[in-house]
Homo-oligomer: A and B are copies of this chain.
Amino acid sequence: MARTTGSDGGKTEAAIRRAAVKLIARHGFEAVSMRQLAGEVGVQAAALYRYFPNKEQLLYSLMREHMEGLIAAWQAARPKDGDPATILAAFAANHIRFHVERRHSTQVSNMELRSLGRDRLSAILKLRTAYEGQLRQILRDGAQCGVFDIEDTALTAMAIIQMITGVIVWFRPDDRLSVADVSRKYQAMTMRLAGVTNETEHGHV
């Protein structure tokens, strides 16, 4: 009827996040009820409201965590120096690794934006735009110094992002391909889109 033995706020919140990402990725945000989520966590629905004020803020929190993690991962992985081709290869490698490792939360962040209210939506989009801006800058740098051959920088950036994010749609580890295999092949295709002349040498991250 009340607090259960061994209950701990920190663990419960983490369990809620984990279960929410998994359920929302599978069924979609609107299709997952608070009771269903609570059941997955092993708790009553009312307990969820101790950690998140409502359903939408829970979604927002998951997305924010994902986007901030992605940006932080890139800041940590970005080579301090190196030519644009090397940096671009690192960008692709980091992006693929991050998204393959967090397939569920990627799906949530990419597909459930429409369930956010106006302000929260634009907050997430701001993070996304900042991340995409990193790629655009790399492409501009490389085009300027002649390492890349690019007709339209903004368009090529979108094409690359969509291509390398799309890996989570079909790829399942333990397939005929390992994560490293896929990452290497996608890096090579990224180089092609950037118009890198010397295809060898770069990356292998």
Number of interface residues of A (CB under 8 A): 32
Interface residues of A (CB under 8 A from B): 26-31, 111, 114-115, 151-152, 155-156, 158-159, 161-163, 165-167, 169-170, 177, 182, 185-186, 188-189, 192-193, 195
State the oligomeric state as a number of copies: 2
Pick the contact of A188: B151, B177, B182 (CB < 8 A): B151
- Bound complex: CA A30 to CA B165 (Å): 25
Show 21 A/B contacts (Cβ-Cβ < 8 Å), sorted by A. A27-B114, A28-B29, A28-B115, A29-B30, A30-B30, A30-B31, A31-B114, A151-B185, A152-B185, A155-B177, A155-B185, A158-B169, A159-B163, A159-B186, A162-B166, A163-B163, A163-B166, A166-B166, A189-B193, A192-B195, A193-B193
A25, closest chain B residue (CB) = B114
